[in-house]
């Protein structure tokens, strides 16, 4: 076959009609990309959780293992519990922001995103203070499997919160510059998905690290 | 309608752009070529390391490398071949071909695509830089089992290995997101999911595997890094860690990664065999389901690498491992049924495809031995396993890659590779490959463990090892005609034209090489072989084909 | 082209065989090399039985599928007369079902036979008559012989030789001192990982007397290749007397720790480097320096004077790794056996007068560490 035969045929409608980005409607490319990326993030934390449960299950000295078996250094009050509540609230404010921009309500959008950023920063500060308290109790990254798993899990979550805060700040900046509208705000949708994910991971972490009862040597 | 000749094949338009253009490009075709070139550079590097291994093992006694260096050689050989050659080169073919095959102008996120690529050479250099580090490169095997890979036993090279792989893994994950969005969202009108080429299906399943498995590996790497540098206690049993945990998370990734390394090669073979048989692929849907089946089962067999650890539930993983052979078998029968009653044309791409079929079959069958758990007790961690994995990854993936290079080189450059040199390369490679790896079956049966720097002359392994070493150098020799072929053909190769192979898929509907935006126009897409339909319509309806072609469903 | 390539392989192969003598015998050897060595344990024999089944199935599938490929390649090559397209067959559901179901049944069969063998091979009897614990450490094996209840260590064998009685079941526990190793005896067709922090165990019954080579099969570092041992299967009565003697020796030794070194079963003084064993007064005037580093002797050959005692100043530079020097005559008999001790440390071995000749010296812990001693 020669090239001529190709040339002889034609294409339906416009020459490159089918070639436009985002041709297939439905969910937008950035949002789909973010959902897929979050799948990989779920698996990443899945790996860390698997390590946590595996090490916990094989600890022959109970959990928490000594020297933390007498008194668990992880305490819900005064810091971690309230921080958890703040993070959950921030998920709502992020969603209010989304609903606002979908209504083309830019003021409401900016206000809600600003609150979300603020709550994220406060969460990070509270986590930082909590870390120093734990350190004073002798719990650190190298203090046995208990400390290693705790700081690895919460540390990586904290890094994700930080990442989320940076992304939301960019969104806030761009929002104040008037770059988003009801029709064009894919980046906002994608970022809020990420923020919800970070929130859900924290709920799973909090339940596992703080609410799951410890075990003793039987 | 319109012009008679869209792209007059008088000159092959080359990429005339300078270095800057290549470094900053976001064009999926250029990035695809960057992937290929980069992968081949690492292939030759890791190949040299393999020659070092074969030279040392050619005869008993320690001749060339101290045992420590020897361990570094095979560790970096394995790591680079897997993470910087096979996985990225298949991603490179995907990058070049997938958007063309589905009629898209580019990947969904071109800039992320460029980012994915540039992480690779950086990660690769970090791994290789271990050789310059104090204490040498990583030497715990590409599997880096704990606690051997802990700070107590391994130096800075291991940290470089970890960081390099985190980069390479992130590159894979971003690439996978890109592939998935591209395949889901950028298909041309008429290109329904059951019309996309099989290669695109395999890339899709591969991307899902990468997306689900690689992050788990990243988490394992980070935990190891914490253990080594910040006093963590994940993997060292001496301080409350769990040595087998590493193997579980490692293989949870690395087993699916085996399918990442073979599925796209299967996809390329599934494109090439029908074209050179002049028949459609036998059982397109069966192929799709088999690919998806391999992907799904691929997550439930990781512990078959751990049968001898005494820590896995043997019957379950044995059953799953046996079952995963079935979809691969289905594919084999479909490939053969495609050839039967066809009109086979023995061009170089098809030769390498036949190499794939005949050799990968052995890699599948000798894997079945290890699925029978008690037999695995005998064969695990011996040279049998080395033979098995090379029949899969070299006999399968590398032959597939070579088939792909010869098949798509004309599209990428506008010029054909030389057929005679190609056939010389094939014969050398085929002979060298079997000479290297077939004796390893016998060595494994005779009890030679893998990863040993030396063996006793009394063990009776000397002759087979010598044979394998001769084979290894034969493979190396076969790379000379390959490089020469590329060098010569880039300048003086026969002009390819748009569609030198009478192919079926959309990438052959545009010029060679394609313009930056890929297509001036697309043929109607009414089956998985739009170009075949086009040719066929043109030859039967004569030159009125254009009018006879109704618009495909718009928008789809 | 593929045909030519295959032909080249076959011709080269037959050429090599022909160059080495009788082709038929050689082919027999090649056929034999497709199988594991003859099993010397009852469990190994069962695995061999399973291997043969798998091999048969594999051979049939291999010949069938490669045959189909070759058939298609030979029969359907394109001819100049092929101007028309071949029939455009898109598939056949019945065929797809058949070639999905048949392999499924085949692998299920494979699974069931291997499961049956697995249950036999993996059965563990904690009350087996012989209880041994293999201790793996970088890069040597030692064997602890346990009391029948498996709780007490009766004595520890530091040389990597594991004596077992023929025909009696041995319950072997595996313990690692550092990284993961694997206990592998090719003639048992079996291996099991030695995992730190976890005690694996398995049973085996040697069904014939002999010496069977074993080796670490899991990469454990730079000395991995040197981590070898042997299993010595001896008649039960011989085993019992050997065991009793070792237990007595160990008891004697614990009473007088400063006693001179017995040949084997001698524990290295852990932690502290042992003092020089031999009073230098008795040793000969000549002192030979010998250094062990990186699981190898730095000096590959030594020379000594005939009929005169001499001293080997043995410098073990491998941190934590035990070595010694064992001098063998031409017949392989040990004429001097130095004490095994871990590095970093130095010991002076007082070697008695030797007749002129060529000797081999070897490290008992690492049989691949060798050198030549010339006495003249």
Choose the closest CB to B380 out of C118, C187, C191: C191
Interface residue B313 vs chain C (CB under 8 A)? no
From the CA of C212, how many Å to the nearest CA of chain B?
11
Residues C246, C266: Cα–Cα separation, whole Å:
10
Nearest CA in chain B to C81: B343
The interface residues of chain B toward chain A in range 159-198, judged by CB-CB distance below 8 A, are: 173-174, 176-178, 180-181, 184-190
B524/A156 touch (CB, cutoff 8 Å), yes or no:
no
Contacts of B148 in chain C (CB under 8 A): 179-180, 219-221
**How many CB atoms are closer than 10 A to CB B540?**
9
At residue C310 the predicted structure's pLDDT band, cuts being 50, 70 and 90, is confident
Residues B70, B141: Cα–Cα separation, whole Å:
11
A11/B249 touch (CB, cutoff 8 Å), yes or no:
no
**Per-range mean pLDDT, top range of B17-21, B285-289, C275-279:** B285-289
* Confidence at residue C81, expressed as pLDDT on a 0 to 100 scale: 86
Structure tokens at C344: 């970093």
Nearest CA in chain C to B329: C103
* Confidence at residue B53, expressed as pLDDT on a 0 to 100 scale: 96
C219/B148 touch (CB, cutoff 8 Å), yes or no:
yes
> Closest Cα partner for B383 from B309, B262, B468?
B468
More confident residue, C362 or B409: B409
B241/A10 touch (CB, cutoff 8 Å), yes or no:
no
Pair B234, B242: CB distance under 8 Å: yes
* Confidence at residue C139, expressed as pLDDT on a 0 to 100 scale: 86
What pLDDT digit, counting tens, does each position of B380-414 carry? 999 999 999 999 999 999 999 999 999 999 999 99
Assign residue A25 a region: left if phi > 0, alpha if psi is -120 to 50, beta otherwise? Answer: left
| C5 pLDDT above the threshold of 90 | no
Average pLDDT over residues C186-208: 94
From the CA of A108, how many Å to the nearest CA of chain B?
30
* Confidence at residue C29, expressed as pLDDT on a 0 to 100 scale: 83
Please tell me the pTM assigned to this model.
0.88
> Closest Cα partner for A84 from A75, A73, A92, A76?
A76
| C260 pLDDT above the threshold of 70 | no
| C1 pLDDT above the threshold of 70 | no
Interface test with A, best of B209, B240, B499 (most A CBs within 10 A): B240
Residues B270, B360: Cα–Cα separation, whole Å:
14
**CA distances, C246 to each of A167, C154, C158, C234, C366 (Å):** 72, 9, 12, 15, 22
Residues B441, B419: Cα–Cα separation, whole Å:
33
* Confidence at residue A25, expressed as pLDDT on a 0 to 100 scale: 63
What's the full length of chain A, in residues? Answer: 218
Q: What ipTM does this complex have? A: 0.89
Taking one residue from A and the other from B, the number of pairs with CB-CB distance under 8 angstroms is 209
* Confidence at residue B121, expressed as pLDDT on a 0 to 100 scale: 96
* Confidence at residue B58, expressed as pLDDT on a 0 to 100 scale: 95
> Closest Cα partner for C288 from C308, C317, C264, C260?
C308
Residue owning tokens 């890791």: B46
Interface residue B540 vs chain A (CB under 8 A)? no
Choose the closest CB to B241 out of A23, A36, A55: A55
Taking one residue from B and the other from C, the number of pairs with CB-CB distance under 8 angstroms is 298
Residue owning tokens 């960081």: B163
| B201 pLDDT above the threshold of 70 | yes
pLDDT in tens, chain A (218 residues): 333 334 334 333 433 444 444 445 678 999 999 999 999 999 999 999 999 999 998 888 888 888 888 888 888 888 999 999 999 999 999 999 999 999 999 999 999 999 999 999 999 999 999 999 999 998 999 888 999 999 999 999 999 999 999 999 999 999 999 999 998 999 999 999 999 999 999 999 999 999 988 888 75
Residues C147, C154: Cα–Cα separation, whole Å:
6
Pair B35, B116: CB distance under 8 Å: no
Interface residue B361 vs chain C (CB under 8 A)? yes
B372/C195 touch (CB, cutoff 8 Å), yes or no:
no
From the CA of B552, how many Å to the nearest CA of chain C?
22
At residue B538 the predicted structure's pLDDT band, cuts being 50, 70 and 90, is low
Residues B258, B251: Cα–Cα separation, whole Å:
10
What pLDDT digit, counting tens, does each position of C121-166 carry? 988 888 888 999 999 988 889 999 998 888 888 888 888 899 999 9
C110/B372 touch (CB, cutoff 8 Å), yes or no:
yes
B521/A5 touch (CB, cutoff 8 Å), yes or no:
no
| B539 pLDDT above the threshold of 60 | no
User: Who contacts C238 (Cβ-Cβ below 8 Å, separation ≥6)?
Assistant: C165
Choose the closest CB to B240 out of A45, A50, A144: A144
CA A210 from centre of chain = 19
Q: What is the DSSP string of A106-173?
A: HHHHHHHHHHHHHHHHHHHHHHHHHHHHHHHTT--TTSHHHHHHHHHHHHHHHHHHHHHHHHHHHHHH
Assign residue B144 a region: left if phi > 0, alpha if psi is -120 to 50, beta otherwise? Answer: left
Choose the closest CB to B286 out of C61, C91, C111: C91
At residue C366 the predicted structure's pLDDT band, cuts being 50, 70 and 90, is confident
* Confidence at residue B331, expressed as pLDDT on a 0 to 100 scale: 94
Assign residue B231 a region: left if phi > 0, alpha if psi is -120 to 50, beta otherwise? Answer: left
* Confidence at residue B14, expressed as pLDDT on a 0 to 100 scale: 52
**How many CB atoms are closer than 10 A to CB B41?**
14
Interface residue B248 vs chain A (CB under 8 A)? yes
From the CA of B291, how many Å to the nearest CA of chain A?
20
DSSP-derived secondary structure letter, A77? I
* Confidence at residue C304, expressed as pLDDT on a 0 to 100 scale: 86
From the CA of A33, how many Å to the nearest CA of chain B?
6
What's the full length of chain C, in residues? Answer: 376
C91/B71 touch (CB, cutoff 8 Å), yes or no:
no
Residues B212, A33: Cα–Cα separation, whole Å:
14
Contacts of B445 in chain C (CB under 8 A): 33-37
| C261 pLDDT above the threshold of 70 | no
Average pLDDT over residues B327-337: 94
B308/C193 touch (CB, cutoff 8 Å), yes or no:
yes
| B317 pLDDT above the threshold of 70 | yes
Pair B85, B127: CB distance under 8 Å: no
Interface residue B237 vs chain C (CB under 8 A)? yes
Interface test with B, best of C31, C38, C45, C91 (most B CBs within 10 A): C91
| C189 pLDDT above the threshold of 50 | yes
More confident residue, C328 or B250: B250
Torsion of CA B182, B184, B188, B194, to 10 degrees: 130
* Confidence at residue C40, expressed as pLDDT on a 0 to 100 scale: 95
| C233 pLDDT above the threshold of 60 | yes
| B525 pLDDT above the threshold of 50 | yes
Average pLDDT over residues B45-61: 95
B354/C73 touch (CB, cutoff 8 Å), yes or no:
yes
* Confidence at residue C271, expressed as pLDDT on a 0 to 100 scale: 39
Interface residue B135 vs chain C (CB under 8 A)? no
The pLDDT mean for chain B works out to 90
* Confidence at residue B345, expressed as pLDDT on a 0 to 100 scale: 93
Residue ranges of alpha helices (H) inside B81-235 are 87-101, 110-129, 156-185, 198-229
From the CA of C58, how many Å to the nearest CA of chain B?
6
- Whether the upstream peptide bond of residue A88 has omega within 30° of 0, thus cis, is no
Nearest CA in chain C to B322: C107
Nearest CA in chain B to A51: B245
At residue B99 the predicted structure's pLDDT band, cuts being 50, 70 and 90, is very high
Least confident of A101-110, B120-129, B169-178, C313-322: C313-322
Contacts of C195 in chain B (CB under 8 A): 237, 243-244, 309-311
Choose the closest CB to A3 out of B216, B499, B552: B499
From the CA of A111, how many Å to the nearest CA of chain B?
30
Residues C246, C267: Cα–Cα separation, whole Å:
12
């Amino acid at each position: 076959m020669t090239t001529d035969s190709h040339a002889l045929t034609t294409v339906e409608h416009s020459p490159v009609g089918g070639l436009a980005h985002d041709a297939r409607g439905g969910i937008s490319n950035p949002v789909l990309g973010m959902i897929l990326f979050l799948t990989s993030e779920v698996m990443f934390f899945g790996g860390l959780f698997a390590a946590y449960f595996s090490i916990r299950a094989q600890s022959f000295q109970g959990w928490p293992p000594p020297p933390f078996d007498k008194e668990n250094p992880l305490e819900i009050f005064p810091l971690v519990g309230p921080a958890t509540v703040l993070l959950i609230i921030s998920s709502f404010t992020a969603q209010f922001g989304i609903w606002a921009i979908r209504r083309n309500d830019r003021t409401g959008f900016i206000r809600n995103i600003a609150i979300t950023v603020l709550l994220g920063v406060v969460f990070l500060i509270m986590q930082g203070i909590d870390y120093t308290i734990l350190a004073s109790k002798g719990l650190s990254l190298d203090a046995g499997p208990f400390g290693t798993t705790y700081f690895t899990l919460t540390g990586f979550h904290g890094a994700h919160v930080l990442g989320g805060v940076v992304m939301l700040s960019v969104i806030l900046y761009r929002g104040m510059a008037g770059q988003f509208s009801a029709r064009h705000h894919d980046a906002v949708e994608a970022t809020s998905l990420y923020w919800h994910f970070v929130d859900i991971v924290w709920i799973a972490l909090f339940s596992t690290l703080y609410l799951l009862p410890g075990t003793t040597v039987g | 309608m319109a012009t008679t000749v869209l792209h007059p094949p008088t000159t092959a338009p080359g990429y005339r752009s300078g270095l800057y253009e290549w470094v900053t490009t976001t064009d999926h075709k250029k990035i695809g070529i960057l992937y290929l070139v980069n992968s081949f550079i690492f292939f030759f590097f890791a190949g040299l390391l393999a020659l070092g291994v074969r030279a040392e093992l050619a005869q008993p006694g320690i001749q060339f490398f101290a045992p420590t260096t020897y361990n570094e050689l095979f560790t970096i050989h394995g790591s680079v071949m897997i993470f910087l050659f096979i996985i990225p080169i298949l991603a490179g073919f995907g990058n070049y071909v997938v958007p063309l095959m589905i009629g898209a102008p580019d990947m969904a996120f071109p800039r992320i695509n460029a980012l994915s690529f540039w992480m690779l050479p950086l990660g690769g250099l970090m791994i290789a830089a271990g050789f310059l580090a104090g204490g040498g490169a990583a030497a715990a095997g590409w599997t880096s089992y704990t606690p051997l890979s802990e700070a107590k036993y391994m130096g800075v090279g291991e940290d470089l290995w970890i960081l390099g792989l985190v980069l390479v893994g992130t590159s894979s994950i971003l690439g996978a997101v890109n592939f998935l969005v591209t395949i889901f969202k950028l298909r041309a009108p008429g290109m329904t999911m059951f019309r996309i080429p099989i290669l695109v299906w395999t890339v899709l399943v591969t991307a899902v595997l990468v997306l689900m498995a690689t992050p788990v590996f990243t988490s394992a790497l980070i935990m190891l890094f914490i253990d080594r540098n910040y006093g963590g206690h994940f993997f060292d049993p001496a301080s409350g860690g769990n040595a087998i945990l590493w193997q579980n998370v490692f293989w949870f990734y690395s087993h699916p990664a085996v399918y990442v390394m073979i599925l796209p090669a299967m996809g390329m073979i599934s494109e090439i065999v029908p074209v050179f048989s002049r028949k459609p692929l036998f059982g397109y849907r069966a192929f799709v389901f088999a690919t998806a089946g391999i992907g799904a089962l691929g997550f439930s067999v990781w512990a078959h690498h751990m049968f001898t650890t005494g820590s896995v539930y043997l019957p379950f993983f044995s059953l799953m491992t046996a079952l995963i052979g079935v979809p691969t078998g289905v594919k084999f029968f479909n490939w053969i049924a495609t050839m039967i009653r066809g009109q086979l044309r023995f061009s170089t791409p098809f030769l390498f495809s036949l190499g794939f079929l005949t050799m990968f079959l052995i890699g599948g069958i000798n894997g079945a031995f290890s699925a029978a758990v008690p037999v695995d007790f005998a064969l695990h961690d011996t040279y049998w396993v080395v033979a098995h994995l090379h029949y899969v990854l070299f006999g399968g993936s590398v032959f597939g890659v070579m088939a792909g290079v010869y098949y798509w080189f004309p599209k990428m450059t506008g010029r054909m590779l030389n057929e005679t040199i190609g056939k010389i390369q094939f014969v050398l490679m085929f002979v060298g490959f079997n000479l290297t790896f077939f004796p390893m079956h016998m060595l494994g049966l005779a009890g030679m463990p893998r990863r040993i720097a030396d063996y006793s002359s009394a063990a009776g392994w000397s002759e087979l090892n010598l044979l394998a070493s001769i084979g290894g150098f034969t493979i190396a020799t076969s790379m000379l005609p390959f490089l020469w072929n590329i060098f010569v053909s880039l300048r003086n190769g026969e002009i390819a034209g748009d569609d030198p192979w009478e192919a079926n898929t959309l990438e052959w509907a545009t010029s060679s090489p394609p313009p930056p935006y890929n297509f001036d126009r697309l043929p109607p897409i009414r089956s998985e072989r739009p170009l075949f339909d086009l040719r066929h319509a043109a030859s039967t309806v004569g030159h009125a084909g254009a009018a006879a072609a109704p618009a495909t469903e718009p928008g789809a | 082209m593929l045909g030519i390539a295959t032909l080249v392989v076959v011709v080269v192969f037959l050429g090599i065989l022909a160059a080495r003598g009788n082709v038929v015998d050689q082919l027999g050897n090649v056929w034999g090399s497709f199988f594991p060595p003859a099993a010397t344990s009852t469990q190994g024999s069962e695995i061999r039985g399973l291997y043969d089944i798998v091999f048969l199935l594999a051979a049939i599938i291999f010949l069938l599928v490669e045959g189909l490929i070759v058939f298609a390649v030979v029969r359907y090559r394109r001819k100049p007369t092929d101007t028309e397209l071949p029939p455009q067959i898109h598939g056949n559901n019945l065929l797809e079902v058949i070639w999905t179901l048949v392999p499924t049944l085949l692998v299920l069969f494979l699974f069931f036979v291997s499961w049956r063998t697995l249950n036999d091979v993996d059965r563990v009897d904690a009350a087996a008559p012989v209880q041994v614990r293999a201790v793996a450490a970088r890069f040597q094996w030692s064997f602890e012989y346990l009391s029948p209840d498996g709780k007490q260590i009766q004595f520890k064998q530091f040389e990597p030789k594991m004596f077992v009685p023929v025909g009696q079941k041995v319950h072997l526990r595996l313990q690692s001192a550092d990284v993961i190793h694997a206990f592998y005896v090719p003639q048992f067709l079996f291996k099991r990982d030695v995992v730190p922090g976890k005690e694996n165990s398995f049973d085996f019954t040697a069904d014939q007397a002999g010496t069977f080579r074993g080796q670490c099969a899991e990469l454990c570092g730079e000395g991995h290749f040197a981590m070898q041992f042997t299993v010595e299967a001896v008649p039960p009565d011989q085993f019992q007397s050997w065991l009793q003697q070792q237990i007595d020796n160990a008891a004697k030794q614990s009473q007088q720790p400063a006693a001179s070194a017995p040949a084997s079963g001698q524990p290295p003084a852990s932690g502290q480097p042992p003092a020089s064993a031999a009073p230098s007064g008795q040793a000969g005037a000549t002192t030979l320096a010998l250094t062990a580093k990186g699981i190898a002797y730095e000096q590959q050959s030594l020379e000594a004077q005939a009929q005169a005692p001499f001293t080997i100043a043995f410098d073990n530079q491998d941190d934590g790794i035990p070595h010694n020097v064992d001098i063998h005559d031409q017949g392989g008999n040990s004429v001097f056996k130095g004490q095994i001790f871990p590095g970093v440390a130095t010991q002076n071995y007082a070697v008695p007068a030797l007749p002129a000749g060529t000797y081999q010296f070897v490290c008992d812990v690492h049989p691949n560490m060798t050198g030549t001693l010339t006495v003249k």
